[in-house]
Amino acid sequence: MKTDPTFWLLARASGLTAYVLLTSSVVAGLTVKAKPFGRRIKLPVATDVHRFLALLGLGAVTAHGLALTLDRTVRMPLAGLLVPGLSPYRPLAVGIGVLAAELMILIYASFSLRRRIGVRNWRRLHYLTFGVFAAATIHGLAAGTDRWAFGLYAGAVALVASLTAWRVLTITPTRKGGTSDEPHRNRPVAV
């Protein structure tokens, strides 16, 4: 008896789409206070794009999980998508993906809680995005079945790593714990 591959294909496509949207959101977040094209992008616009990409990524993650529960190629119980380690299919790799998705939800929810928890705590929580990105990458490589996608993962890691290094080197911390978008090279050197 032949099984219908529709949901398996949807699960793979939505998983890769979620990864691309997560990467795009991380890239947008890294460039929020930057001047990538010589001009500063208006902060509210950049923040809205960053947030919207994160929301779309969560939607794709939801579609990914739903498609996996409907697929008959690999039987995935709902508990396997909610509790790390309960998946019958590659439990460690899927568990890492579940953890990444749950942290994505927490970080996205923190946008609305920023004033309540304070900017400093919000920023600390937001640094978990790097962990989410790393976990999603590991999940895709270890649980995914598309070996051709290795180039996608390698490119995404290279992009996020290079933008992170660029941001660290060009945006300096201020005394109050925020960031300044003035590059080091334009600051006068104290003698």
Helix axes 6-30, 43-70, angle to 10 degrees: 160
pLDDT digits (tens, 9 = 90+) for 138-178: 999 998 877 888 999 999 999 999 999 988 888 656 555 55
Q: How far is residue 164's CA from residue 169's CA, in Å, rounded to a whole number? A: 9
CA distance 39 to 150: 34
pLDDT tens column, 45-76: 888 888 999 999 999 999 999 999 998 888 88
Give the global pTM: 0.83
